[in-house]
Structure 1
Amino acid sequence: MTSWDEGSFRERLQKTLDEFLDEMAERLAPLGPDAALLLEEGRRSVSGGKRFRAAFCWWGYRAVEPEVADEDALLRACAALELLHASALVHDDYMDASDTRRGRPATHRAFATAHREASWRGDPEQYGASAAILLGDLLLTWSDELLRRCGLPSDRVVAALTAFDHTRSEVITGQFLDVSVQARGRADVDAAMTVLRYKSAKYSIERPLHIGGLLAGASLEQLGELSAYGLPLGEAFQLRDDLLGVYGDPAATGKPAGDDLVEGKRTVLVALALDSAPAEDARRLDAALGTPLTEADVQDLRAIIDASGAHAQLEQVIDDLVTLALDRLDRSSLHQMAQQVLRQLAAAATDRAT
């Protein structure tokens, strides 16, 4: 069994991100202390996390080419995906009006608090919103720059940038689909699955695999094999995230209990529950979404979802999707060593508490 030192990979990836941000700090130094504050928040936004996107990029490369000639260059390419992810989270937290991220204030809340404590003019909340939008944009810009300048052969980087362009288009448009679903206050299972696929599933696993594979010179057939494994696994990954948004332990997730219910998320879990629950229970669940909820309220809504069968059904769907992904991986021509680690990553991505 091939072992993979996940902890060492995360440390090396964080070092790569820190070095890039050090370079950006020198670039922005002439802009003064306000720019330094924005950069420090950027550092916080790329600290910690599970680093799944970077890991799938790394092993997408090694599934095609098991030997890495320039590990530092590949790490920079993988780190670009973490900058993209940080950008999405900063913007997502603002759009969702989230208070926390990984146990600390979300970016827009942190800057609003700083404005308030300094007794500056204007609206603290607007200042926080502006800072979050601009930081997210800056991280998005840097993600492109880091991949473009990673140091791998230019023809491979150009090919990977094309997949990266698709990734950004999909995740941003998928986010707008989600915003629109929440605004309408309704979503059937098909609509919720479309949001899930384009907002998260593809950019979390399938596209990072593609980017890594293209950096290694993957053929169209190999890209198809990476998709056959990566897309169902990405869907399972996000369905697990949806369950954690309702059932997750705040001590582990860094988010309040039932956070997705408080935010009114029209996830696949919620859509299934609304379809299957008795009419009165469905009305109670629908009316409660997006409203302030006590812990007792959250427990009540969880009971409705459980009784509808949606929770158990989603667990089964996750299991089925993981089985499908692993079966397709077994049937692929991808390198055996990488296949073993990709199996480990599949378990880590879908059997988790955070």
Structure 2
Amino acid sequence: LDDQYATPRRDRPCGTFGGAGAVLAGDLALVWADDAFAEATAGSPAAAPAAAVWRSMRAELVAGQYLDLHAQATANRSAARALRSAVLKTALYSMERPLMLGATLAGGSPDVLAALAGAGRCAGLAFQLHDDLQGAFGDPAATGKPVGEDLREGRSTYLLAVARERCEAAGDRTGLRVLETVTGAPYTAGDEDVRRARDVLDQGGAR
């Protein structure tokens, strides 16, 4: 609902109906999700510990998304920060916390919860890093979104952060300027700008 300026998503066109409406719809969806979770777990002996996992997941998602937006607004685009954002908004939200929720409701032991948490975080982070690669180099027919979309949006991905740090370490000012062309002015980069940025990612070893 709050995916700003997206074009195709999941191989379907996205419509824009106003930022305020999207925020309100997102708030409503969160309220409904809380209601559904409370109703689904009512009466379960694991309701309280499961609710703690649920609350953590919500907070981590918002924190990760905020880090992502803050990085774009302030040019704080370190690889460590990008990785932290990926862990919070993807690894925890998509994999680790859902696994822990299921195991908690099923009465899983602490050892089971710890094992699932570790596996989920690794799988979730791998998913996000692969998605970053697909966003820059993927086939639109397979990804359902235009090639280089993350580059055009100036998204502060781990892939871009690593490429930037490699350029800085090598003293590659040309490469840095190419990356800044796409990340410094989101939604204004042309096809040639994206192609050159992809070359920097590839040739500099970030890919």
State the one-letter code of the partner of 2:22: A
The Cα offsets for residues 241-284 of structure 1, whole Å up to 9 and x where unpaired, read as 11111112223323222111111111110011111132211221
The Cα of 1:291 is off from its aligned counterpart by 4.2
Query: What residue in structure 1 maps to residue 23 of structure 2?
Result: 133
Q: Are residue 280 (structure 1) and residue 174 (structure 2) matched?
A: yes
Seen in structure 2, the aligned counterparts of structure 1 residues 151 and 176 have a Cα distance that, compared at 3 Å, is closer
- Aligned counterparts, 1:203-222, within 5 A: 203-222=93-112
The Cα of 1:197 is off from its aligned counterpart by 0.8
Query: What residue in structure 2 maps to residue 99 of structure 1?
Result: 7
State the one-letter code of the partner of 2:51: L
Query: What residue in structure 1 maps to residue 193 of structure 2?
Result: 297
Out of 90, 93, 97, which is 1:200 matched to?
90
Seen in structure 2, the aligned counterparts of structure 1 residues 208 and 174 have a Cα distance that, compared at 3 Å, is same
Under a length normalisation based on structure 1, what TM-score does the superposition of the two structures give?
A: 0.54
Aligned residue for 2:133, secondary structure, equals helix
Aligned residue for 1:288, secondary structure, equals helix
Q: Between Structure 1 and Structure 2, how many residues are aligned?
A: 201
The Cα offsets for residues 278-300 of structure 1, whole Å up to 9 and x where unpaired, read as 22112211232224233332222
Q: Are residue 254 (structure 1) and residue 144 (structure 2) matched?
A: yes
Mapped to 1, the partners of 2:28 and 2:8 lie a distance apart of: 20
Out of 95, 106, 119, which is 1:229 matched to?
119
The Cα of 1:133 is off from its aligned counterpart by 1.2
- Aligned counterparts, 1:52-91, within 5 A: 90-91=1-2
The Cα of 1:177 is off from its aligned counterpart by 0.9
Mapped to 2, the partners of 1:136 and 1:269 lie a distance apart of: 28
Q: Are residue 176 (structure 1) and residue 72 (structure 2) matched?
A: no
Structure 2: runs of 5+ lacking an equivalent: none
Mapped to 2, the partners of 1:175 and 1:195 lie a distance apart of: 7
Q: Which protein has the larger Cα radius of gyration, Structure 1 or Structure 2?
A: 1
Contact 1:210/1:223, CA 8 A, preserved across alignment? yes
RMSD: 1.7
Seen in structure 2, the aligned counterparts of structure 1 residues 186 and 286 have a Cα distance that, compared at 3 Å, is farther
Mapped to 1, the partners of 2:199 and 2:90 lie a distance apart of: 27
The Cα of 1:158 is off from its aligned counterpart by 2.6
Aligned residue for 2:45, secondary structure, equals helix
Under a length normalisation based on structure 2, what TM-score does the superposition of the two structures give?
A: 0.89
Structure 1: runs of 5+ lacking an equivalent: 1-89, 112-127, 312-354
